[in-house]
Structures are given as structure tokens and as C-alpha cells.
Amino acid sequence: MKRKRDKVQRISKAKKKTNVGDDHFEDQLFQPKDWDYIIHHDKWFAGKVNVFSTEMVISNLYGNMSNDQIALFRKTCFGPYVDMKEISLQPQLIHQVLLREVKQPNLDETWFKIGEKCVRFSIHEFCLITGLRCTGNDDCLKYQSRLSRIKDTYFRHVPNITRSKVKDVFVNLKDASDKDVVKIGVLYLITSFLFTTSYKKLVDDSLMALVDSDEMETFAWGEELYRITLSSLKSALRNKSLTEGWEESF
């Protein structure tokens, strides 16, 4: 009986210490085992999904290049994207899948329990879906000190290059070579469609130099993008506010 009273007292003190409400305290006590839901299904909640790539990037790409330029774009490692249709996302479906994430030991992938089955999302599935290279050199910072002719030619009067500036330059290009149009088109695709969460503000000099180099074709774009995607998926529902609702951003 004494042990039971001591346990009750410890729980009571811990509850007072959290000072954030019963729900939060119960969440702290819940420790899922492997292949259990990370968020207990009794605690599932409504949410709002923010999607950064909302503009018509694919349509803008296709509509602002000539047939010859589109043909050149198709030969790049990003070629298949120019023939995509615009994506219509279902935000609540994404939210419902994220709620079903299960605890599992591999930190390099994530699993979800859909019905009675557990399904995996790893770099293998990501590679199949995106078609991007997922092995090899993925160190973008090594290009930080390299010069970029594209930057010096088309952005020389732009003190802070944001993704919106990249779009503006691309859709207003005049008297540019076909190769330059394709390179800036690739930069637009990367910053406004593929890497939207990591290039919300300024576009790195290293990215400009990489796109302007021959190594763009062999760079492991998929590996870096997978890390960003996985981090977004795993953190989307963490630290949920108990009083202010919740938003997930991708």
C-alpha cells in the first residue's frame, strides 16, 4: 500500500510540475512501443497543412520556354518534371496519414499503419517516385566559393536573390541563350517546387554555382531532398499546441 501511495504522489507531483493540462501530462506518460502509433489514436486531432509550392510552377516552365528549350530541358536530370501535370494535393489526406505514423527503430525512414498494414516511406520509395539521383555527391556547400556566370549575368542587379526573384527573372528572360533559359528554369524548379521549405528566403550562392556547372547532372539531388522531406514528415506533428490548433508545413 505504501508503494502504491508513493507512486500516486510522484504522479501527482509530476502532473503539477508540467502545468500545461491533463492532455499534455497523459501524452508524456504514453510511451509507444515499436510499431505502435506515435500519437495514440485517442489523441488524433484536426490540422491544417500548409503547402509552399502553390504557384503553377510546371505550367510556368512549359509556358515560358520555346520548343527547342523544352527539348533541352528534357535532357537534364530534371527533364521529366517539365511534362508533369500540375499537382492537386489533398491536405487532409496528408494529415490523416501523418497521424498514423508508428514508432520503429530506423531513423532514416518512416512507417505508417494504414488499416492493419504498416507501410514504409524510405529513400528507396522516394527515388522511385521522384526519379532523382539518390546516391553520390550531395554536398552543395562545396560550391559556395565558386563563381556563377548565371548569377553575374542575370542577377547582377539583385542584392538579395529570393525564389520570387528567380521566378521573375525566368518569366521575363529576353535575349538569353537556350542553355541559359534552361539553367534558370532548373533553378526556378528547384527553389519554387522541389526545395520550397529550404529556400523560403535567400537562394544560396552554392546552389547558383551548382546549377551553372556540369556537375548538376551527377549531383545527388534526391538524397538531399529526401532528408528535407523526411525531416518535414517527422517534425510536422511534433510539439502540437494544446490551445492554438496545429499546422503542418511542406
Q: What is the pLDDT of residues 82-112, one digit of tens each?
A: 999 887 778 888 899 999 999 999 999 999 9
**Residue 172 — very low, low, confident or very high, per pLDDT cuts 50/70/90?**
very high
pLDDT of residue 195: 84
Q: What is the pTM of this model?
A: 0.79
Residue 169 has pLDDT above 70, yes or no: yes
pLDDT of residue 187: 96
pLDDT of residue 20: 40
State mean pLDDT over 128-154.
92
pLDDT of residue 90: 81
pLDDT in tens, 25-82: 455 556 889 999 999 989 998 877 666 655 789 999 999 999 999 999 999 999 999 9
Distant-in-sequence contacts of 205-208, Cβ < 8 A, 24+ apart: 205/143, 205/144, 205/148, 205/151, 206/140, 206/141, 206/142, 206/143, 206/144, 206/146, 207/140, 207/143, 208/148, 208/150, 208/151, 208/155, 208/161
**Residue 3 — very low, low, confident or very high, per pLDDT cuts 50/70/90?**
low
Residue 180 has pLDDT above 70, yes or no: yes
pLDDT in tens, 117-139: 999 999 999 999 999 999 998 88
pLDDT of residue 29: 55
Quick check: 36 and 142 in contact, CB under 8 A? no
Residue 22 has pLDDT above 90, yes or no: no
On average, the pLDDT of the chain sits at 83
Residue 12 has pLDDT above 70, yes or no: no
Quick check: 166 and 140 in contact, CB under 8 A? no
Q: Rounded distance, CA 176 to CA 74, Å?
A: 18
Identify the sign of the CA torsion 106, 28, 93, 163.
negative
State mean pLDDT over 163-192.
94
State mean pLDDT over 13-34.
56
pLDDT in tens, 220-239: 999 989 998 999 888 888 75
Strand ranges for the chain from DSSP E:
48-50, 101-102, 110-114, 117-121, 247-249
